[in-house]
Each structure stands twice: as C-alpha cells, then as structure tokens.
Structure 1
C-alpha cells in the first residue's frame, strides 16, 4: 500500500520532534534538495543538531532527507561521510570508537496509514493482560524478546490458543505512541507457532487499534531481521527510511 501525501509530512513532524529538531526540518530539507542540483546524498544537505549531553549518536534517513544528532565531535567526524555509508551501523561504530561507541544497530523504517483487516478465527481469543505477555516472552529466545521489547510497548494484544487445560499465549502485537503521532509496532511469536500467520494476525489487531486511535503506523526492524522485514511488507507497510544509532560513553 502507499501512503497518503499528508502522511509523510505527519511522520516527518513526529521524527523532527523526537530528535529535538524544528517541526519543519525534514520538510524544508526535502524541499531544498528537490530544488537543488546537488547530490541528495551530499553531507552538506544533512540536518544536524549538536547535543553535548547525548548518550547516543543517531542517524536518520527519512523520505529523501537525513539528520544526524549527537555531540559536536560526532557531527564533525561525519561531515564528509555520505548518507549511504552513515546508515550502516559499522560506520557509526568506527566514527565513535574512541568515545566508546557500541550497541543498537541499523533498522529499516516502514509506515502505513491504513491496512487490510485480518479477523481472528472463532477458536482464538485476544488478551490485553500483562501476565500473558510475560508468559509468551518466557517461551521465546532472549534475543527475540529483547529486540521486540514488548514490555516497552504500552498497548499489547496477545493471541491466545486453547489447549487441554488453559489458554496458551502464541503471539503478541503491540504498539507505543511516539510524540502522540506515531504508533511504533512490535510483534513476538512463540517459536512453535511461527509460520502459521499468527504474527501477522497479532500485528493486524494491534495496528487497527492504533489506527482507530488516530495514529500513523511505524514498523522498525533490524536490517538483518529478514522475518520482520518480510512481515512488514506482507502487512502492507511502505518503506520510509533507515535509522542507525550507537550508544556512547
């Protein structure tokens, strides 16, 4: 699916506020790049904000415009680095190595302002309770649990499957609000229940709850997580950008 023309502007506004930029920073940068004959990957076109108290360095490429936020030494180190290289986690690690750069990674960003509705079958129920989320996380590898971060997503919808004695949590779709504009999505599926469409179902349930709340959907997935990338596309999310960051200090 494609985004409505106004949706990109709403997404840019949310990210501008999240990064502490002027509300129109991305929109203005995209306009300047479109009107200029210079290479859009030219670092001179990049939005920057120096933050000496930052504990991370963040690079964002969003709908043709890019931004870098971090201490001034990081901005200086990246001045001559093209966006395509800066979006790679290894580049940020190299630039910040002397300041203890570590962790986080590079993620693809997907967005949607509408999605097809997928209805659960009659023998499935959906819970919004936290105990079910905790049980589900206990069934999953720690790396998967940490990457999705369900405990940090305030609205959670867990698909339950009946067994002989009680209902078993099999998948959870969740979201948290970003700047009151975006719904940042996450999905976790218990390994025995993967590749059965339950993750897609859980994601659809959470997505439509967020859409009903007036939010625009955001899906953020590590660039190496082929399963999460494929799910975003299968749900109907549109590619919107790249996000890379490292912790420092």
Structure 2
C-alpha cells in the first residue's frame, strides 16, 4: 500500500530535524538514535516524534540511547508519546508535551472567510505584536512562539491594538510551523481561524508544508476547521 504523500513529506522533514541518520520504521516500529544536535527536543533531552504508526527517537548520548531503546521496547508505538506511559518504563525527570502534529495539503485546506474582519499584514518584529503577547501572558505567548516567526504577521486589530495574530517559522526542509495567538479577552470569536488561514495561504504560496503543533483542544479544533490532518504527536523527555 502506498503511503499518504502528506505523511511521507512530514516524516522526511522530521528525519532531517533529527540531525543523525535515522528513518521511520515500518508501522509499529520505534527507531532510536543518539544525536546530541537533535532538533526534536531541547539540548540534552530525549525527543520522540510519532507519525502514522511509527516513531523516531533521539537521545543526547549512546548510553541514553541504549536505555531508551530498552525502555520503549516495552510500549506499543501508540504509547511512546504518552507521558504517563513513558514514566512507567523510563526514569523521567521532566516532560514537555505531548503535542499533536497536524499537516495540511493544498487540496484539503479550507480557507476561512474574514467576513467583516480586516486581516492586516505586519512585519514579524512589529512592536504591536509585543503588546499582544503581554495581554496573552508569558505562558500563552511562549507556547504560541510569535517571536520566532520568519513570515509576515497576519493580524486583526481592535481599539488601535492587535488582538489576534498568526505567522509561521520556516523550518529546514520546507516546513512552515504555524504560530497563532489571540488576546484572552477576544477568544472564541473565530479570530485564530481567520489569522491562521491567511498564514497557511501564504505558506502554500511559498511552496511550504504547513505544520500545526498543539496541546489545547481549542487549538486542535481550529486546525481541523482549516483542513489540517492529525498525523502524530511529539514529546520531549528529560531523564534523571
């Protein structure tokens, strides 16, 4: 059976981010490799990415690779991004995630009409974006990652300030990592969907593959409304 082209492209991108020779195994397989320069996780951590029933895992050292390989062998691939399950088989000090990984193809993309809203374009370093981050709070702003976008920012304004914004970070291999943030006082009004829609359209025009990484259910629903498919998950682990 031929693999979904979206899965194939997503896997190639994450294999390149592993920064070491590794490939997704056949369905149900878990490939573990030592890679101190891995971009799957913070430096010194273990990075786990599962896509369509297979997983790649990077560790900082050969010693930790052997430990992780033996521990994860006790789990089905569906559980390797489940923090509670991983704690049962590995000495875990801290985790980040899991976060769902979703991708969109041009054919599946469902553009959101802005209606009466005016979506404007700003430079990625525009000071009004910092005002939005202050309104959202440190945790939400850090999760959104607007400070790292390499695309223009697509924003909605009210009262002279930016109340919602989206953009993307260009990752190696042609991936556009979508970043979205809405002022808490203006949430649940469709602003994330409208600004993200403009962002995704820009990414497609640039020949990039849009990626949506999310933990909150509300964020996952926005991605689904735009036609993103949930293909896997990511988990970062710091060992004791």
- TM bin (shorter chain): 0.7 to 0.9
Tell me by how many angstroms 1:143 deviates: 1.9
Change (3 A) 1:159 1:203: same
Distance 1:140 1:211 in 2: 28
Is residue 207 of structure 1 aligned with residue 200 of structure 2? Answer: yes
Distance 2:117 2:144 in 1: 26
Normalising by the residue count of structure 1, what TM-score does the alignment of the two structures yield?
Answer: 0.80
Partner residue of 1:69 out of 58, 62, 70: 58
Over aligned residue pairs, what C-alpha RMSD do you find? 2.4
Change (3 A) 1:127 1:213: same
Distance 2:86 2:146 in 1: 27
Change (3 A) 1:5 1:103: closer
2:230 is matched with 239
Partner residue of 2:173 out of 177, 180, 184: 180
Distance 2:85 2:152 in 1: 35
Tell me by how many angstroms 1:138 deviates: 1.0
Partner residue of 1:85 out of 79, 95, 118: 79
Name the SS for the 1:55 alignment partner.
coil
Name the SS for the 2:100 alignment partner.
strand
Partner residue of 1:229 out of 208, 215, 220: 220
Contact 1:153 1:174 (C-alpha < 8 Å) held by counterparts: yes
Higher helix share: 1
Distance 1:244 1:121 in 2: 37
Change (3 A) 1:248 1:133: farther
Change (3 A) 1:57 1:95: farther
Q: Which runs of 5+ in 2 are unaligned?
A: 38-42
2:47 is matched with 58
Contact 2:169 2:178 (C-alpha < 8 Å) held by counterparts: yes
Partner residue of 2:122 out of 124, 128, 132: 128
Contact 1:92 1:245 (C-alpha < 8 Å) held by counterparts: no
Q: Which runs of 5+ in 1 are unaligned?
A: 34-39
> Which structure has the greater CA radius of gyration?
1
Change (3 A) 1:128 1:154: same
Tell me by how many angstroms 1:117 deviates: 2.8
Partner residue of 1:189 out of 182, 188, 194: 182
Partner residue of 2:149 out of 150, 153, 158: 153
| Alignment of structure 1 residues 29-40 onto 2, 5 Å | 29-30=25-26, 33=27, 40=28
Name the SS for the 2:136 alignment partner.
coil
Tell me by how many angstroms 1:95 deviates: 4.7
1:116 is matched with 110
Contact 1:112 1:238 (C-alpha < 8 Å) held by counterparts: yes
Contact 2:156 2:191 (C-alpha < 8 Å) held by counterparts: no
Change (3 A) 1:128 1:79: same
Distance 1:226 1:7 in 2: 22
Q: Which 4+ stretches in 1 moved above 6 angstroms?
A: none
What is the number of residues matched between the two proteins? Answer: 224
Distance 2:153 2:225 in 1: 19
